[in-house]
Chain A
Amino acid sequence: MDRDQMNMIVELMEVSFVLVETALYLNTHPNDERALRLHNNASTQYVQLEEMYQARYGPLKNTGMSRYPWAYIDEPWPWEINFNFN
């Protein structure tokens, strides 16, 4: 896995985590426009990133299309990613 792929997958995880948080918040605060903007921005960003990542490196989910041979099993798996957390 090269550095670009690593950066991209970490960013995907970050943005998808923001989406989890905004979605949960919006469930109880459906009228919070600022939270909704945050969610929608993250959603747009996620869709773009996901498309870019999958075009380059293969499917992120096993429901995705794949080139030959089946690329879903290619690295990295989530536990192989080093976040360098303190």
Chain B
Amino acid sequence: MHEKFYSKNCNNCNQLATTYIKFQIMDQVYNQEQALRHGTLFPDLYRPYDPCGKNKEWRNYG
């Protein structure tokens, strides 16, 4: 049924999506109080959900 989507005749155009995640290297860390407050120990990973991109402030929290 899916042959046409996975056809071997089409070089490299039949790949499924792949993900890539950069390897984390520990840099700054929050103190224990701020870690619990932010939900992460690592400022690099602090990225609160912000669908409209309105709140730029969090970028400065680190």
Chain A residues engaging chain B, CB cutoff 8 angstroms: 11, 13-15, 17-18, 21-22, 25, 28-29, 32, 34-35, 38, 42, 83, 85
Contact = CB atoms under 8 A, between A and B. Distances in A.
B32 A25 contact: no
Binding site secondary structure of chain A: helix
Contacts of B36: 13-14, 17, 83
Most buried by B among A14, A15, A34, A42: A14
Q: What band does the interface of chain B fall in when counting residues whose beta carbon is under 8 Å from A?
A: 10 to 19
Nearest to A35: B26
Q: Chain A CB within 10 Å — which of B24, B35, B36 has the most?
A: B36
Interface of B: 24, 26, 29, 32-33, 35-37, 40-42
A22 B32 contact: no
B33 A14 contact: yes
Contacts of B40: 21
A32 B42 contact: no
Contacts of B33: 14
A17 B26 contact: no
Contacts of A83: 36-37
A85 B36 CA distance: 10
A85 B40 CA distance: 15
A11 B33 CA distance: 8
A85 B32 contact: no
